[in-house]
Amino acid sequence: MKHTWEASADGIMALPSGRLVRGRGLHYPLPAGPFPEFGVYLLGKQPPPVGWESRWVPWPDLRLPVDQPDALEAFREAWRRAESERVEVACWRGIGRTGTALACIAILDGVPPGQAVSYVRRQYRRRTVETPWQRQYVARFPAGTP
């Protein structure tokens, strides 16, 4: 059975394939509605436990993932699971790291790397992907088969 988000819910980004992924900031209360079934958490230290399956990607604020191959695999897993599950991606405020990860997931879904930041800024948050090195990370993200 397919469990996905409501497309109009807060923080939901629609991918070209129709997959829906929620971005959010862990600093804020959990949004109303159903819980995620899988979460990817992008923090410099291990996140607090949650009541659903999750994956931690070590990623200091305003920086890049500590282990880029691990981050790539986490984004691939999020993309795959978003086809039939409620997937969320979150950092502390839900802007820089979250937007960067969402842009990478959009690339996995077919958005060209050079358009991924603007895509996420239109679909998720206007000021997301905060630093030049985060934008560069997205631009160099390996497109191809997820």
Architecture of the 12-139 domain: Alpha-Beta Complex (3.90)
* DSSP conformational letter for 130: -
Distance of CA 50 to the CA centre of its chain: 17
By residue count, the chain amounts to: 146
Task: Give the model confidence (pLDDT) of 65-87 as tens digits.
Answer: 999 999 999 999 999 999 999 99
pTM score of the predicted model: 0.96
- In the chain, the largest separation of any two C-alpha atoms, in whole Å, equals 41
Task: Give the model confidence (pLDDT) of 14-58 as tens digits.
Answer: 999 999 999 999 999 999 999 999 999 999 999 999 999 999 999
- Residue ranges covered by each domain of the chain: 12-139
Among candidates 76, 68, 42, which has minimal Cα distance to 144? 76
* DSSP conformational letter for 39: E
Q: CB burial class (10 A; 0-12, 13-18, 19+) of residue 83? A: middle
Per-residue pLDDT at 146: 61
pLDDT band at 4 (very low <50, low <70, confident <90, very high): confident
